[in-house]
Chain A
Amino acid sequence: MFVYALRRILYTIPIAIGVSLVCFALIHLAPGDPLSSVIPEGASAEMIAQIRTAYGFDRPLPVQYLKWLGHVVTGDFGTSIMTRRPVLAEVLPAVLNTLTLASAAVLFGFALGCLFGVISGYVAGTPTDRSVAAFSITGVSIPHYWLGMVLIVIFAVNLNVLPATGMGEGGSGSFGFNWDSLQYLILPALTLSVIPAGIIARAVRGTVAEVRKQDFMQTLYAKGLPGRRVFVHVVKNALPAVLAVMGLQLAQLLGGSILVETVFAWPGTGFLLNNAIFTRDLPMLQGTILVLAMFFVLINLLVDILQTAVDPRIKRA
């Protein structure tokens, strides 16, 4: 197990380098000048050259990449072009805010997904199963942006029972586990949870139905095991496949949602990315994307290791 984990950790190094290369290259391949948002109107050629030098954009791309990578490995993600604040100091609080939102969405989404998936898997082929399928497909298909706005209109504007935007009166700095703060979390988390709930419900339903068709289930019933003990076996057998789906969904949620965070003015990574894109803040974009990509890599690693722990057959394969 230890060797397997070590091998998987080593695999992440080339992946991380590849990710850093791709995110650097993609941003530089985008049309337009990376400094267009800071070069003032009517700036002379001399001034443009001066700004380019000041921000290090006068060097060849490979040199820029290596220099950037060198700084990144020492924890220096650069300075935002727009705000002149260190990128890491901007990204980390945003990651924490997204983590808060994602955790709540995970709670809603995974609980609902598992609940509906298990019910559906147990009653496969019945009208209840078809209703759950309809719920799942709706969840997967519904546009986040639209759902967020509808929830805001219903609960914030018309009923005025929940706030529409932000993280509270004092912002993220005063966010805590009390009603004054948590009420700001409900609508964005609900919006964000709908897609994972749908996907997980489908995955759990399929796996549970499959497991329940297997021969050993008949054996368990034949041996006279009560329903709840059989259920434990169903869960155990379905868990590895479901964990993989949950891991991917969790990684996706931690990546933040540009649309949901923008609609709810939630100061997470999605909101940060949206702003960086519109202001063409390259160091901020590179830093944020790299941090998020590393989250993906890390969570995939954890899921792989967890899956192996739950089902040793995977390691052997």
Chain B
Amino acid sequence: MIRRSFLWLLSAASLTAVMCVAARHDSALAQSKPGVLRVAMTAGDIPLTTGQPSQGGEGIRFIGITLYDGLTRWDLSKSDKAAEVIPDLAESWTVNPGDQKIWTFKLRKGVKFHDGSEFNADAVVWNLDKLMNKETPQFDQAQANQAASYSAPIASWRKIDDWTVEITTKRVDAVLPYNLANLFMSSPKRWEDLGRDWSKVAEKPSGTGPWMLESFKPRERAELVRNPDHWDKTRITKSERLILLPMPDPNTRVAALLSGQVDWIEAPPPDAVPRLKQQKMQIVTNLYPHIWPYQLSFLDDSPFKDIRVRKAANLAIDRDGLVKMLGGLAVPAKGMVNETHPWFGKPTFEIKYDPEQAKKLLKEAGYGPEKPAKVKIVISPSGSGQMQPLPMNEFIKENFADVGIDMEFEVLDWEALRTRRRLGAEAPENKGRHGVNNSWGYWDPDIGLIAAAGSFARVPVGFNWGDYKNEKADALALKAKATFDPVEQAKILGELHSVIVDDAMWVWMVHDLNPRAMRPNVKGFVQAQSWFQDLTPVVVE
């Protein structure tokens, strides 16, 4: 009797506790505030704030182009075509006709850093020294690491006058304006004022961008406020405040959005999308320069050395089924770049689901049900741009098995996989591996096509992992690199793309659709076809 009473008492106490929690619930809990945009990022920490952000594309998206400007920038105002590079802190530029390695940049006048100091040619030279000149006091290894991919083509730089800067590239390189969009200008004055200490600058950075950093707490939040004096009045932010919250777990991001703790989440998982839609959340998607491929080995021990096997692999994949599995948050690939991209060209090899043709090609190559082509691919369980790698790879493994390709995986964590890719197929660590499942971006011609396909761009100098060699591709890659007219360059890149698709250089699966979810009262966002997005027109109503 006593025991029963005790249990009843315990139950009643628990119920009362829950009711108390409910009763004391603050009705203002986790409500949107007009003018304050709260974003849950996939990163686990706030990217570096000193100028060159860490955390890859997400770092540039939320800390790079928000706090800083470059000499050029991506035009992120349109959703119906691939983002292009346009003038930013440089109003215009010219290439020396006598020596095409020499570029002259005319700088924009009247631009101020957040600390009130003036942006001019000295600031540009100081910033390039910061990234590339170890002899200068402002050189910062951490920023140099983040910028190295973009600063690599630059050989030297100098001030011509207060509003003119000359940059010389190592070789003729028409891709330079793309690279400059990711080299950000931080304030020399702020660095001096804070005792030439980059760790202090990290807490109080100063750029020329449309947002200013008000405060940040590592791994928790960064609060950015509007820069009312931004030089480009069309880019004065519509929101007063932008709060960035690191939330690496996708389910946590979804819960935070549904419970009203944030207004915007990056990369919701596909299986959460129906629930988010049901709760009237906006799901915004668009194409962007992303491809989920197998980068192939062309070494002697690789079955993929035979073009018939490469083509068969591309024809074996039911991409529509894969997209369905991903909740529609991807589109089937027809090559490295998407079909609407200006670099798509006119490939003759159509990438589609045709298992019968795949079987035929494999048979011609000497493989069949009794003697399957055995391949080993390095994959990761997660990673930036890797989408849902484990179920996707299992799906493709089944597709391959249906046509006579026996695929084995080596599963490594994301950074270990990147290390393997950086080493190239020939490295002892990659012996017996015939491909690497490393998602790829084609936001600039170099990364997307030239340095991925050129035999002169073997890793680690370029991105040609598998020792791909094609004389036609090499010639077109070098031609594109030396073509300064954007229209003509796009045409050449289209030809290059056609060559590598016809040669089935990689196995291309799908393009991610870059999903993000936001509350119904988030207005003004235009999702550009880019890894980066402009938050200046976005507002919470």
A binds B: yes
Q: Of the 9-residue stretches A159-167, A194-202, A209-217, A231-239, which lies at the interface with chain B?
A: A159-167
Q: Of the 9-residue stretches A2-10, A19-27, A272-280, A303-311, which lies at the interface with chain B?
A: A272-280
Task: Let me know if B260 and A32 touch, CB within 8 A.
Answer: no
Main secondary structure of the interface of A (DSSP, over half): loop
Q: Which B residues touch A41, using CB under 8 A?
A: 149, 447, 463
Task: Let me know if A37 and B415 touch, CB within 8 A.
Answer: yes
With an 8 A cutoff between CB atoms, is B513 at the interface? no
Q: Which residue of A lies closest to B258 (CB)?
A: A157
Q: Which A residues touch B30, using CB under 8 A?
A: 160, 163-164
> Of A84, A94, A163, A265, which one neighbours B246 at CB under 8 angstroms?
A265
Q: Which B residues touch A110, using CB under 8 A?
A: none
With an 8 A cutoff between CB atoms, is B461 at the interface? yes
Task: Let me know if A275 and B460 touch, CB within 8 A.
Answer: no
* A152-B420 Cα distance, complex, nearest whole Å: 38
Q: Which B residues touch A161, using CB under 8 A?
A: 21-22, 25, 29
Q: Which A residues touch B299, using CB under 8 A?
A: none
Contact with A along B133-172 (1 / 0, CB 8 A): 0000000011001111100100000000000000000000
Interface residues of A in 3-58 (CB under 8 A from B): 30-33, 36-45, 47-48, 51, 54
Task: Let me know if B220 and A82 touch, CB within 8 A.
Answer: no
* A180-B28 Cα distance, complex, nearest whole Å: 11
* A26-B54 Cα distance, complex, nearest whole Å: 26
Q: Which A residues touch B422, using CB under 8 A?
A: 33, 36, 39
> Of A42, A85, A278, which one neighbours B248 at CB under 8 angstroms?
A278
Task: Let me know if B48 and A32 touch, CB within 8 A.
Answer: no
Contact with B along A83-98 (1 / 0, CB 8 A): 1110000100010000
Q: Which A residues touch B416, using CB under 8 A?
A: 30-32, 36
Task: Let me know if A82 and B54 touch, CB within 8 A.
Answer: yes
With an 8 A cutoff between CB atoms, is B219 at the interface? yes
Task: Let me know if B141 and A262 touch, CB within 8 A.
Answer: no
B13 CB, nearest partner CB in chain A, Å: 11
Q: Which A residues touch B198, using CB under 8 A?
A: 84
With an 8 A cutoff between CB atoms, is A301 at the interface? no
Contact with B along A253-276 (1 / 0, CB 8 A): 000000000111101000110110
Among B24, B146, B202, B248, residue most surrounded by chain A Cβ atoms (within 10 Å): B248
Task: Let me know if A263 and B256 touch, CB within 8 A.
Answer: no
* A45-B54 Cα distance, complex, nearest whole Å: 21
With an 8 A cutoff between CB atoms, is A294 at the interface? no
Task: Let me know if B22 and A157 touch, CB within 8 A.
Answer: no
Q: Which B residues touch A262, using CB under 8 A?
A: 248-249, 252
> Of B219, B248, B418, which one neighbours A36 at CB under 8 angstroms?
B418
Task: Let me know if A42 and B451 touch, CB within 8 A.
Answer: yes
Task: Let me know if A279 and B248 touch, CB within 8 A.
Answer: no
Among B21, B145, B202, B420, residue most surrounded by chain A Cβ atoms (within 10 Å): B145
A41 CB, nearest partner CB in chain B, Å: 5
Task: List the interface of chain B (C-beta within 8 A of A).
Answer: 3, 6-7, 21-22, 24-26, 29-30, 44-45, 48, 54, 141-142, 145-149, 152, 198-199, 202, 217-221, 245-249, 251-252, 255-256, 258-261, 412-416, 418-420, 422, 447, 451, 460-463
Sample (10) of A-B pairs whose CB atoms are under 8 Å apart: A31-B416, A42-B463, A44-B461, A84-B142, A156-B261, A160-B260, A164-B256, A186-B21, A264-B252, A267-B218
